[in-house]
Amino acid sequence: MDIPVYRRIAAELAARIAAGEPAPGERIMSTRQIMAEYGVAMATATKVIAQLRDEGLVRARPGVGTVVAAGAVLPGAAPDRDLVVRTAVTIADAEGLTGLSMRRLAGELGIPTMSVYRHVADKEELVLFMMDKVMAANPPPPHLSPARDGWRACVEALARLQWSMYRRHTWLAQAVSFTRPLLAPHAMAHTEWTMRALEGFGLTPALQFRTAVTVANYVRGTAVNLEEEAQAEQETGITDTEWLAAQQQRMTAVLATGELPLMARFIATGDQDFDLDILLDFGLQRLLDGLETLLSAASG
């Protein structure tokens, strides 16, 4: 397939920018100059400028025109994979995975979009590296030992560590999958930690693995709500607590029908504290209680 004319011209101008001609902050060729030099129509020249802008190589400067963007790739200045992944994590932390694209990442790094592919094959591999980087920064608690502290303390500590990761990186729960897992070594180390905590109770390897994944999946399943919660607060400007307070009149009307007596009794107690942290804690303790029964039966 032939490469469109505007892309060929854009690639040539990108090569000039990479060579430092023009330098960051200096004007690039205008559309009329591109028309004259390459013998193309105004529409094609406009596409050339748009392509360079999309690749993060140029930007519009009011009163000046289109100039080479600060941070555009220069010899020896290309980012390494670690910088690419760290930048992607920063974007996802602020805008979620939906806000992360190769073009968006390239713009933040100040490099052509295609240059990102020198470091990652595609977005799936990028997310894999992102997830593994977050996990690497949060290894299983080194101060705990199953032999000294007991299996429950170790499993609970890891679950709470994972919850704290999901709270800081709300996109992470969307990236983690237990049906089509991305094989991130540091994420797998979390599973290994839980399996080790359950060693010596007579569980089969398969049951050890399923148990470890069940705990991790419970935390992840609760954390999936975090990104939606954050987005709703950002879009509306009100917190979950404020939102619930605004629903009070409607809640009163619903309960007044008498069709929900147990809910009405609960509301009447005044003990209505409820959020994702409370939900996580309550469910985690019940899950650990169940595992205690399982381990007692297996070791008996």
Q: pLDDT tens digit string along 262-296?
A: 888 887 887 767 788 999 999 999 999 999 999 99
Q: What percent of the chain has pLDDT over 70?
A: 87
- Domain 146-237+270-299 is found in CATH 1.10.357.10: yes
Q: Residue 32 carries which side chain, given as an amino acid letter?
A: R
Chain segment 76-120, per-residue pLDDT in tens: 445 688 889 988 998 999 888 989 999 999 988 888 888 888 899
Chain segment 11-32, per-residue pLDDT in tens: 788 777 776 677 777 888 889 9
Residue-level pLDDT at 258: 83
Pick the CATH number of 81-136 from 1.10.287.1260, 3.10.20.30, 1.10.10.60, 1.10.10.410: 1.10.10.60
Mean pLDDT of 245-257: 77
Residue range 5-68, CATH number: 1.10.10.10
Query: Same CATH fold, 81-136 and 5-68?
Result: yes
Whether residue 205 has a cis bond before it, omega within 30° of 0? no
How are the residues of the chain apportioned to helix, strand and coil, as percentages rounded to the nearest 5?
A: 65, 5, 30
Residue-level pLDDT at 76: 43
Residue-level pLDDT at 191: 94
263 vs 126: CA distance, rounded Å: 46
Residue-level pLDDT at 195: 96
